[in-house]
Amino acid sequence: MDLDELLARQLQHAELAEAPQAPSGGRTRQEQEKVQLLGAIESGLDLCSKCEDEELQALALSLIPLDELADSAKRTKQLNQQEGSNAAGGRVLDVQDYLACELMQWFKRSFFKWVNAPPCAFCGSKTTGAGVQPPNQEERAFQASRTEIYCCSVCSSITRFPRFNDVGKLLETRKGRCGEFANAALLCCRAIGLTARYIWDSEDHVWTEYWSDALQRWVHMDFCEAAWDKSLLYEGGWKKKLKYVLAICPTSVVDVTARYTRQYAVVSQRRAVPDSWLQAQAQTVTQQLRASLPPGVLRALELRDVSEQLELLGRATEQSPLSAEEAAGLKGRQTGDDAWKRARGEDGDACKTSGLQPESSRSSTPAATMWRPLPMRQEHDEYVDVPSGPTSVCARAGRLMGGACRASGE
């Protein structure tokens, strides 16, 4: 990567970090962070609303080899049962959990492509970054936040790389970075019937969580990294200094920062916004989102809320250092080229080279947090295909409302 491309990446990082907030205009840091948080909630709810669109879910479902993934999930569960490794935190995993992992593997290996610098649109040669421009009218129609400009090293032609947010368009382009990955992944999760939500990190990353009926908790899933249930990946592996992590879905907004740190007290000191203000905003929005829900659905969501709040409280108040096994399983960022990861400070090398030890806090179920339900089945960084068959477990996913899987009998 040359200096121009590295500069473009750094500009991208700065713009992403500032995207949800308006110009400061003399605001205090607390006021700026409040604007950023409210903007993130608004944009996250807009995305989640689009992912509930039945036509978009049907389109996504038509692209997903669901029967193959479901059959592979059943085979993996049976294999793990035979080997006695089908439990996490005292609970037995269901096909739903294996299906979530199968979807993530397929998405990463076969469906979506990570883009460092796009090839030349004219001759296919390598390009280098030449800056960032506002999107044009056609790109804005598909919610492009900005457009990166690249120059071909052979023919000197200009290639535009609009950063689309429209999930329908992403099913067509099937490429991008963490933002595009998370947006399209959320739609795919909903299309196959997973109860999933969008996770926004104020320090410039996004991913998903899904509700596991077997584990009775929300499970971290990062489709960029093919990481399942590794909530400490960003702090422990990437060495990110977390501040705010919000979970957003059509029925709730929750501050889930405590799930992703072992040093919640330190994280709280980085915040300019009081926890009480953020909790009040999240509760107000959640109440509005649930105002018209049937009593039975509302009761089920409230019980789930109680379970999650107890988990988050435990993670925020108890402290324990990372075990050697946990630390060994947390790597620096895998996606993106090396220079880009170093520029963002997400390669994990800062801790390794300086001799720093992982910072401490806790996890309510450490073993389950780091436990993986199945091997990612990689050979030399390539995924190995699994024999597939004609089985669909869409009905096992337990969706709460709407969606393209309605005919499957949720």
Catalytic residue numbers read: 178, 205, 222
Q: Are 98 and 73 in contact (CB under 8 A)?
A: yes
Report the 10 Å Cβ neighbour count for 236. Answer: 24
Return the structure tokens found at 9. 């990446």
Q: At what angle do helices 178-191 and 54-63 cross, to 10 degrees?
A: 100
Burial (0-12, 13-18, 19+ Cβ within 10 Å), 295: exposed
Q: Rounded to a whole number, what is the largest CA-CA distance in the chain?
A: 63
Q: How far apart are CA 212 and CA 222, in angstroms?
A: 15
Q: Are 228 and 247 in contact (CB under 8 A)?
A: no
* Extended strands (E) in 153-216: 158-162, 175-176, 196-201, 205-212
Q: How far apart are CA 349 and CA 287, in angstroms?
A: 43
| Amino acid identity for residue 404 in this structure | A
Helix (H, G, I), strand (E, B) or coil at 206: strand
Q: Are 277 and 34 in contact (CB under 8 A)?
A: yes
Q: What are phi and psi of 345, to 5 degrees?
A: 70, 35
Terminal C-alpha separation, the chain: 48
| Amino acid identity for residue 186 in this structure | L
| Amino acid identity for residue 249 in this structure | C
Which of left, alpha, beta for 337 (phi over 0: left; psi -120 to 50: alpha)?
beta
Q: Are 386 and 373 in contact (CB under 8 A)?
A: no
Q: Measure Cα distances from 149 to 30, 117, 120, 128, 295 in Å.
A: 34, 9, 11, 9, 51
Contacts of 137 (CB under 8 A, 6+ apart): none
- In DSSP terms, 218 is beta-bridged to 211
- In DSSP terms, 161 is beta-bridged to 148
